[in-house]
Structures are given as structure tokens and as C-alpha cells.
Structure 1
């Protein structure tokens, strides 16, 4: 299994993300995820830089492959723009770039006042968006008039020798089936063997499956839980709320209903290498090929050191 590090654009400044990327490479991580948000989930996270600027800068500070986890190419950013951004990123990273896409959240996509579509429409939009992106990556002049997008006489000149893979995020049955049908790989965050099996059985076959989990490094487990609860209480919200709430202050309000113990169950908190190894093992047993860990809070260097010293050597 490939072990990667997840750069959280919602919680750290661009300079901190670059420092984490350099540190992750030195520690022995094999790849990077990076989130693409317009807003943080809650105000306490405090950041949300333009991910595509950070992706460009990453190419100059480390040589690890980068996957967007994930970009929504349907509302806030037109698929023709994402096609150009991803092509440029792949050139900068010498082909070590994967475009991870999903149907997005109202939190990030509502900013122009567009209506937030229901799930079936969002899946339909994502399907067409991926079609547009792949057409533009051929280098041909593209004219497209579809149900959701129009592209007129567009051509991308700066392209990698090989188009980047497109991995598709999916949690519900319809989105997993779509990922299997149109994706070059699959992205998730849950250690669910059923989800991986559905992806593989419905057309995904042996395509790569990526997943990620959160940690809060600290001297004690309780201190890690305190940090995680302060920064990511939204991680305890159930169901489709993460897709439909439109602003950080709404997440802040609902997060008050989340008990800290729920966050303890979702994060790896503290400084235990065994706890990280147990979490990685859950994803391995679920059938994932790659797993990415992100740190919450100020002690990210401690997590990198822990992985370099104990976790990665024991995994290998």
C-alpha cells in the first residue's frame, strides 16, 4: 500500500502547506493529496487558499505526486478552466499529477448565487464535465454544446505528453457507480470494503483506489481530541449535511451538537504509532491501494517525525 500525506488547505497557510510537503517527502511519504475549497468548513480552521496556486508551488519544492482530493469542476469552476489548470499542473509536476474530482459541496459552490442542484443533477453535471475535460486534453479545438456546459473554439496548448488520470470521489451507490464508469480511479475517506467492492464490481476493476483519514498529533490522546474537536467538529456531522450546508457559520452552529467522543472515534489522536498502524490496516483490509493521512492542529511536524521514525518503517 502507498502511504501519502494530505495537505489541508482549510487549516494551513500556503507557506505551511509547502513546508509540510517538503517535510512529508523527507519523512518518506510517497504522494500528496490536497483539498480544494473556497471556504473552510468552520471558522476555527481559518484558511482556504486557492489550491491551484499551491499546486504550482508544490512542483518547485518537492517531487511527490499530487492528487486533488477533490476538485469540483461543475459550478464554481467551469470544466474548461479545470482542464487547463490540471494540464498545466501535470506539466509542472512532470506527469506526477492526478485530477481528483467530485460533485462538491454547497459550502464552496454557491458563491455566485447559483442554485445548488440535487444529487442526480450534480452527478449528471460531473459526467459532462469529465467529458469536456478529456476532450480538451486531446489538444484539438473543442466545440461542445451540452445540457450543462458550452465550450466554443477552445484549445489547450500547454499539455503533458500523457493526459493526467481522473479519479472520481463517491460515497453513495450512484456516485460510486459513476466513479466506476467514468473514473481512472476511485477516491473515498471511509474504510469500507463494501464501497471498494461496489466500485470494483461495477466497472472499476483493478483501477487504483485512494482514501484518506485525519489525525491530531499531540502528547496525549485527550489533547489530540481537544485539538481535533476545536478544528474539525464538522467531521462528526451525519448524512448529507456536508453537501448541502452553505456557509462555515452554519457548520459552526450544527457542530455544537457533535459530542467530542464522536471526533475521538473518527480521528487518530495523540502520539501512538500503533493507533496509526491500526487505522492504516483498516484501509488496507478494505481494499484500498493508497491511504493519505492529514494532521490537524499545530503539531504537524510531530506527526511527520512519528511516521518517519516508527510508522513507515513498520509498514514496510
Structure 2
């Protein structure tokens, strides 16, 4: 049965608001919650970027039922993988086993800030592969010393390990990344409803660690719900026009100003063609259906606009979830 999630988007709300949104999302019936891990918003208009891991700790205590997940953390430049492993173990304890560590190769927007440069895509994927090996060893409770091509670890051990192991979900986008990272992952993360990707993932899933075959496939889709469609389109254009650039572009731009310049010619109608906008819940259900038809087990929704969340919860979330479960569950 498909599961439907809510995105705690750190780029469009402050830390206290995100915790409050997490509680509301659980109350209205979302199955899980994912959180972005950013140092900067994509666009200045979004206006926020609190530290995701502090917020996750608060969310873990403020909620009881929903699954929690980073979507996604880059464990290679801004964070050392040994520190990521410790953070993940701590959140898993606070969440009583509800946490999944989502990992990816990152974006310049968030990683360049520590002054270490931004590697090529091939190097980033090499770094991610090495980081995952370190994280898995530490989360297994090993005393780890590691001298690799990119990372050194000296006599590291996680002293507070959760009873429930932390699942690792890895972001993948094509044949090469699935072949490389599928064997290392418990779960698949992807942002396109690609059935071929899911099919390939199922054949290579978890081989490197002898993982069980029933891994989750987790997608995400932005929506701009509003009683007025024109308002919804205008808001999506203002805050989410960056989305259409594709990951090969989005991973390379370093600042919100760069994204603003790169998207200055994106029209409102362009955004409305790619993002469900307005009050029609059937349109949203149809967009989500593309993911479930492709074999995704979990789909997280991003409601665009930090100041729209309360009205979304009050007026749209419950009937939308009911429609999703009836049509796609």
C-alpha cells in the first residue's frame, strides 16, 4: 500500500514553524515526513534555511507516529561522514526507530559555503560511495579507523547506538548511479517517476550488505494548493521556478542569486505545466499517480509557500489524503 508524506521544507519556514507543521502533518494523517538539509534557500523569496538536524531533534520529540527522514543530506563536504553517522544514530534514538537517513551527492548551493570548492560529479559520487561505507561501519557499532582517498577516520565509535538500525536511503537518477549505489542502499530516493529506474533498483538493491529485498522507493512532488488557481500559480512561480532546471543544473549553481538569474525567463505558464496548482485535488492525485504507477512505494508532497501551510492543513490535507488513499493506496 502506498504511503504519502509531507515535506518539512527548511527553505520556506523557520525552525519553530517547521516543528509546528510537523505536528499538524501527523495530526491530519500523513504517513511520514521528510526534511531538506540546506544551508541556503534556492531563491531569496523563500527566505529560510535553519539547521535541519536541530529541527529534526525537536520534531522527533514533538511527534509520535510519522516516519522521519532527511531528503537529503550530503555527507561529503559540509559534513564529515563520521559526524553524519553520529547525528543519524542520535535522531534514531530520539525518534524511537522512525528515522531514515537520506543521502545524496549534494548541491553547490549548500556545500560550497565551507570553502572547500565544489568537486566534479564523478568526484562527488566517489566521495559519496566512500562516505556511505564509513557511515555503515559506524552505525554497525564498529570501532572505525579509515584512511581513504577522501576521508580519514581515527578510532571513531558511536557510543549511543539505537536499538533499531538506521536505514540508508540513497538518491539515484540514472542507470550508472543505480548500479553504483543501489547495492549500498536500503531504500531508493528519486525525484522523477521513472519506472525503469525502479525496476533496475529492485535487481541490485542492497547486494553489498545482504539487505532484505523489500526496500522503499521514495519520491517527492511539489504542489501549490490554493483556493484560487492564479494565486497558486503566482506563488509557485515566485518560489519554485528553480525546480525545472533539472539536477545537472541545480547541483552546480552556488547561490540564490545564481538561481534567480538562471530562472529569470521562466514564465508562470511554464511552472503551471510542471507543478499542480490550484484547488483541484484530482489534479494533484493524478500527478502523484505517475509515481505510484512507476512503482514508488512512498511519495512526499511539498506544499509551496511557508505561509500557506496552516490553510493547507485546515482545508485541503485531509480530503487530499483520503483521495490519494482511495485512488492510489
Answering whether residue 115 of structure 2 is matched by residue 151 of structure 1, we say: no
Q: Give the Cα–Cα distance (whole angstroms) in 1 for the partners of residues 32 and 318 of structure 2.
A: 18
- How far apart are the structure 2 equivalents of 1:269 and 1:179? 34
1:171-186 alignment to 2 at 5 Å? 171-186=173-188
> 150-159 or 296-305, which moves further after superposition?
296-305
Separation (CA, whole Å) in 2 of partners of 1:239 and 1:292: 18
Moved more, 30-39 or 113-122: 113-122
Query: 1:233-244 alignment to 2 at 5 Å?
Result: 233-238=241-246, 240-244=248-252
Partner of 1:313: 322
Aligned to 1:41: 42
Query: After superposition, where does 1:54-133 map in structure 2 within 5 Å?
Result: 54-63=55-64, 64-133=66-135
Deviation at 1:308, TM superposition (A): 4.2
Deviations along 1:73-116, whole A, 9 cap, x unmatched? 01110000000000000000001100000000011111122121
Partner residue, 1:302: 311
Equivalent position to 1:277, from 252, 268, 285: 285
CA distance in 2: counterparts of 1:70 and 1:59, whole angstroms: 17
Change (3 A) 1:51 1:239: closer
Name the count of aligned residue pairs.
316
Task: Tell me how far apart the structure 2 counterparts of residues 176 and 303 of structure 1 sit (CA, whole Å).
Answer: 35
Shift in alpha-carbon separation, 1:311–1:274, aligned structure 2, 3 A? same
Q: Is this contact kept in 2: 1:168–1:187, CA < 8 A?
A: yes
Worse-superposed segment, 170-179 or 45-54: 170-179
Q: What is the CA RMSD across the aligned residues, in angstroms?
A: 1.5
- Displaced runs of 4+ in structure 1, greater than 3 A? 201-206, 305-309
Give the gaps of 5 or more residues in structure 1.
Answer: none
Q: TM-score, normalised by structure 2?
A: 0.92
Structure 2 residue aligned with 1:201 = 203
Instruction: Tell me what 2:298 maps to.
Output: 290
Tell whether the 8 Å contact from 2:129 to 2:181 is kept in structure 1 after alignment. no
| Whole-angstrom CA distance in 1 between matches of 2:214 and 2:159 | 32
Distance 1:92 1:234, change over 3 A: same
Whole-angstrom distance in 2 between the partners of 1:259 and 1:273: 23
Q: CA deviation at 1:239?
A: 5.4
Deviation at 1:203, TM superposition (A): 3.6
1:73, 1:266 → 2: CA distance?
30
Q: Secondary structure at 2:219's aligned position in 1?
A: strand
- Structure 2 residue runs of 5 or longer lacking an equivalent are 207-212
Secondary structure of the 1:225 match is helix
Say if 1:199 and 1:306 are closer, same or farther in 2 by CA, change over 3 A: farther
CA contact (8 A) 2:3 2:298 kept: yes
Contact map agreement 1:271 1:306 (CA 8 A) in 2: no
